[in-house]
Structure 1
Amino acid sequence: MTTRDRLLAIVVAIAWGLNFPAIHLTLEQFPPFLAVALRFSMLAIPTLLLVPRPSAPWRWVLLYGTGFGVLQFVFLYRAIDVGMPTGLASLVLQSSAPFTVVLAAALLRERVSRRQALGVLVAVIGLAGIASHRAGLDGGTTLVPVLLTLCGGLGWSIGNLGNRRAMQAAPGEPLRLMLWMSVIPPLPLLALSLTLEGPTRIAASFDGLTSPTGLAAIGGLAFTVLVGTLGGSGLWTSLMSRYPAGVVAPFSMLVPVIGIGSSWLLLREPTEPVELVWGALVVGGVLLGSIAPRRARQSAFGTGTTSAVAIAATPSPRPVSPSPSAVVAETVTGPPAADESAASASARL
């Protein structure tokens, strides 16, 4: 990997890590479900007008959008809204990688190696440590935001499965799939916002948009859409098209580091040392399962394969989702069976 591309991977990790303080600023003005609806509407409208539909079966795009776009962000935004520290949220959301391993093994019957299983176990121990620590604070009230964030990670993992099937059916269209995924969330999230947050709260959130809080919220919303999603995903997709995921994916583990650091610098939000220790276990577990052994990496390079998954033994390349946790999860679970065609892949779940 060239120095330039390493720097680009770090830039993407910084953009994705800064997403979490940006979400915090957005929620200072808008209620959580409306904020998510606005975020995806800004992508959905130009996508419907300008971007051709992907060739993947619609059911996989729907599963991708429901898991990644609806479930993940409904729980994540709600968690931050009720008190989840944004830096800690960036860490706990990495639970999507071990969740994806378990779901892929249970639903897609993918093989999980001992190394991968150990990585999941280490990550789960770290997450359990964070939850246990939070359960002992303020009478246990701080545990609820952690559980909501874990539900967001589970939603992301469900989206990963839909994305995986969509990518198998429509190779070479990761950015198009991501954009069309954004068409799914706006309507159900607007309905959820109207039902639970109510028209009065929604209308009130549009007052004072020219105030410092309102301008910061608009800036945060624009950042998550333009920099975090379009810019970050575009650069990540470019890197994934040129290097195996075993080379690129570890850079995504910088996201919680940036998330925690930027939340401390920008929001004056400290993370307790014990949570950092448990968080290191989470990151270590994900890396343990996602980085291929040296022999597997040498085999992948030696055969000339350009597969996005470094431990893949299949000779044909396969693109991977531009989202960091999806990339790590795909690296952890490994590729589908070598004889699985796109048609058969799209027919099973």
Structure 2
Amino acid sequence: MRIPVPIALGVVFVWTSGYLLGALAVGVVPPYLLTTVRLTLGAVLMGVIALVTRAHWPRGRLLLHVCVAGVLTQAVQFAGVYGGLQAGVPAAVTALVMALNPVLTAVLVTGLLGERVGRRQLVGLGLGVLSVIAVLGERVVEVGLDAGSLLTLVGLFGFAVGGIHQQRFCTGVDVRAASTVQMAVSAPVVGVLALFEDGTVQDWTGAGLIALWLVLINALFGTAVYMEAVKRGGARRASSLFSVVPAVTAIVAWPVLGELPTLGAVVGLVAGAAACVLGTAEIRPVPRRDRVATVHPG
């Protein structure tokens, strides 16, 4: 199935704002403390919504799988991303590393879930890589893979594997209940890291406003819209949406962070948009010749 346009735009908007605010946040508050607060408040608020709307809660083995997917997509992803931002990785570069998610996810789902990748999807993945290279520019050549970049790669693997686990084992789960559970189990995991990090809150007002946005928009809306994207189109199609995020982040970073967009950002935006369209396209099954007579329309 194709991911609806509003859901696709929601994913791009949420992750772009997350990278930009993350770059601002690590300057005023320790990253793991901020992430712990974000996940805790997000779990409380989403839990209230789930209770009021009488969401169906996962049980037994399904609950365990929801927790595993949550720790990967919430704790591991954000511990890596915010740790990398604190280590000096720019927001646009962080978005670029995470944009490798569709490539990594496509490789993993092909091997683990047996999904077939069509020609249009392969072209989309290639354009996604091109968008990463175009926006990244001279950064990797000059700096290379430092500690911050490695932490960001940890976040990438957590996000990709978590999305696949969500698709494989959490089909049909209630988004409201699953989001609550996933943030609730991830908060103490990141909280342990927060106990050992250095630094204190430098700006309580700024930190509070950023935390509010991250909870309401990124944690609540973002988690729900990404899970819905996975539900509608699968982990590979959902991950293809991130091909366009780096260029959007680089362009928006101009008024927000004072970073002037380059020609590579524009090229990356075009390539990423094309990758998004091709990567999320529906793959139509081709029936075997010896089974044509048994294939029913629709």
- Per the shorter chain, which TM-score range? 0.7 to 0.9
Q: Which amino acid aligns with 1:188?
A: V
Query: Residue 266 of structure 1: which of 241, 256, 260 is its match?
Result: 256
Query: Residue deviations 1:90-137, cap 9 Å, x none?
Result: 343222122111111222233223332343344335445666732322
Residue 106 in structure 1 maps to residue 105 in structure 2: no
Once the two structures are superposed, the pairs formed by residues 213-292 of structure 1 within 5 Å of their partners are: 213-232=203-222, 255-274=245-264, 276-278=266-268, 280-292=270-282
- % same residue: 21
Query: Residue deviations 1:145-200, cap 9 Å, x none?
Result: 444434322221111012113432xx1512321221111211121112223x15xx
Q: Which amino acid aligns with 1:112?
A: V
Residues 250, 265 of structure 2: 8 Å contact kept: no
Q: Equivalent residue for 2:99?
A: 94
Structure 1: gaps spanning 5 or more residues: 298-312, 316-349
Q: Which amino acid aligns with 1:54?
A: P
Once the two structures are superposed, the pairs formed by residues 46-125 of structure 1 within 5 Å of their partners are: 46=45, 51=51, 53-55=57-59, 57-125=62-130
Deviation at 1:283, TM superposition (A): 4.8
Q: Equivalent residue for 1:42?
A: 41
Deviation at 1:88, TM superposition (A): 3.8
Q: Equivalent residue for 1:190?
A: 191
Q: Equivalent residue for 1:180?
A: 181
Q: Which amino acid aligns with 1:19?
A: G
Residues 135, 246 of structure 2: 8 Å contact kept: no
Once the two structures are superposed, the pairs formed by residues 15-30 of structure 1 within 5 Å of their partners are: 15-30=14-29
Q: Which amino acid aligns with 2:166?
A: N
Q: Which amino acid aligns with 1:288?
A: L
Q: Which amino acid aligns with 2:85?
A: I
Distance 2:67 2:156 in 1: 18
Structure 2: gaps spanning 5 or more residues: 286-295
TM-score w.r.t. length of structure 2: 0.74
1:314–1:255 distance in 2 versus 1, CA, 3 Å: farther
Residues 46, 176 of structure 2: 8 Å contact kept: no
Distance 2:204 2:191 in 1: 20
Query: Residue 161 of structure 1: which of 161, 164, 176 is its match?
Result: 164
Q: Equivalent residue for 1:336?
A: none
Distance 1:292 1:63 in 2: 28
Distance 1:19 1:45 in 2: 20
Residues 18, 258 of structure 1: 8 Å contact kept: no
TM-score w.r.t. length of structure 1: 0.65
Q: Equivalent residue for 1:136?
A: 141
Distance 1:88 1:145 in 2: 10
1:314–1:29 distance in 2 versus 1, CA, 3 Å: farther
Distance 2:6 2:136 in 1: 34
**Secondary structure in 2 aligned to 1:136?**
helix
Q: What do you get for the CA RMSD once the two structures are aligned?
A: 3.8
**Secondary structure in 1 aligned to 2:99?**
helix
Distance 2:20 2:110 in 1: 34
Distance 2:251 2:104 in 1: 25
Query: Residue deviations 1:230-253, cap 9 Å, x none?
Result: 245556778999x878xx968776
Distance 1:217 1:228 in 2: 15
